[in-house]
C-alpha cells in the first residue's frame, strides 16, 4: 500500500513539473506600424533591407537559431490591390554582398482587416542568426509603401538598397548599392515559428524495496 502511494506521488510530481514547463512562443520581427508623422516610400525596383533597427522592434534573425519563417505582414495603407510584393531573407558574407536564402511573392489583397495584410509562406523558410529581412517591388509600383521615413521613425532604424534586374530568386547574389542613414524603417513584420524542443528519453532502473530484498535473501539461505 505504501509503495503504491509513493509511486502515485512520484507521478504527480513529474506531471506537475511537466505542466510548469514554460511554453516556447513564436518570435515576431519587424513592425507594420506607420510611425506618427512619417511618410511611405516605394521600393523603386530595388531590394530594400533593414540594416539596423531599434531594440524594441528588431528585424535581424536572433541567435541561437529559431524556427522557420512561416508568415509575414505589411501595412497596406495607400496600396493598390493586386500590387506584387516580395519578402526576402538575405544572408551576408561581408558588409557588401548578400545571398537570397528565402523568397515569397504575394499580391496585395482587395480587403485587409485593420489595413494589415498577412501572408502565409507555402514552404516555411529556414533561417539562421543574423539573417536580414527585405522587401522588393517592381519599378513603377508606387502604390505600395516599401518603407517609412521621417516623423517618429526610430533614429536607430536604417536601410540599404541592393540592385536587381528583376524579382530576386533563392540563391541569387545581391550587392549593396546605397544606405539611408537613420530614421528609415521597413514596412514588414515576420513570424518565426517556435523551435521544436526534442524530449530526451531516459531509462530508469526499477528500485526494489528493502522488504523484497530481505525475502530474496531468505530464499537463498533456505536453498
Per the CB < 8 A criterion, the answer to whether 72 and 102 are in contact is no
213 falls within a domain: no
Mean pLDDT of the chain: 83
Residue 17 has pLDDT above 50, yes or no: no
More confident: 113 or 120: 120
116 falls within a domain: yes
Burial of 106 (0-12, 13-18, 19+ CB in 10 A): middle
Q: Residue 53's domain spans which residues?
A: 39-193
What confidence category does residue 5 fall into, taking pLDDT thresholds of 50, 70 and 90? very low
28 falls within a domain: no
Task: Tell me the average pLDDT across 139-156.
Answer: 89
Nearest to 148 by CA among 54, 46, 36: 36
169 falls within a domain: yes
Q: What percent of the chain has pLDDT over 90?
A: 62
- The owner of cell 482587395 is 110
Over residues 170-188, the pLDDT tens digits come to: 999 999 999 999 999 999 9
223 falls within a domain: no
Per the CB < 8 A criterion, the answer to whether 98 and 90 are in contact is yes
211 falls within a domain: no
137 falls within a domain: yes
CATH of the domain at 90: 2.60.120
168 falls within a domain: yes
What confidence category does residue 197 fall into, taking pLDDT thresholds of 50, 70 and 90? low
More confident: 77 or 14: 77
Domain count for the chain, please give it: 1
Per the CB < 8 A criterion, the answer to whether 74 and 115 are in contact is no
Give the C-alpha separation, 174 to 166, whole Å. 12
What confidence category does residue 158 fall into, taking pLDDT thresholds of 50, 70 and 90? very high
Amino acid at each position: 500500500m505504501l509503495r503504491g502511494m509513493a509511486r502515485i506521488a512520484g507521478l504527480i510530481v513529474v506531471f506537475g513539473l511537466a505542466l510548469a514547463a514554460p511554453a516556447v512562443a513564436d518570435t515576431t520581427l519587424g513592425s507594420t506600424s506607420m510611425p506618427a508623422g512619417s511618410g511611405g516610400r516605394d521600393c523603386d525596383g530595388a531590394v530594400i533591407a533593414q540594416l539596423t533597427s531599434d531594440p524594441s522592434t528588431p528585424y535581424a534573425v536572433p541567435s541561437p537559431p529559431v524556427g522557420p519563417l512561416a508568415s509575414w505582414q505589411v501595412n497596406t495603407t495607400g496600396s493598390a490591390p493586386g500590387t506584387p510584393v516580395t519578402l526576402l531573407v538575405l544572408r551576408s558574407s561581408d558588409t557588401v554582398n548578400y545571398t537570397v536564402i528565402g523568397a515569397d511573392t504575394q499580391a496585395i489583397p482587395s480587403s485587409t482587416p485593420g489595413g494589415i495584410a498577412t501572408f502565409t509562406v507555402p514552404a516555411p523558410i529556414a533561417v539562421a542568426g543574423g539573417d536580414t529581412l527585405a522587401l522588393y517591388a517592381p519599378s513603377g509600383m508606387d502604390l505600395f509603401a516599401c518603407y517609412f521615413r521621417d516623423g517618429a521613425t526610430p533614429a536607430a532604424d536604417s536601410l540599404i538598397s541592393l540592385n536587381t534586374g528583376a524579382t530576386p530568386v533563392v540563391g541569387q547574389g545581391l550587392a549593396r548599392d546605397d544606405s539611408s542613414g537613420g530614421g528609415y524603417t521597413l514596412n514588414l513584420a515576420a513570424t518565426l515559428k517556435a523551435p521544436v524542443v526534442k524530449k530526451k528519453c531516459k531509462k530508469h532502473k526499477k528500485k526494489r524495496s528493502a522488504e523484497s530484498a530481505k525475502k530474496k535473501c531468505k530464499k537463498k539461505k533456505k536453498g
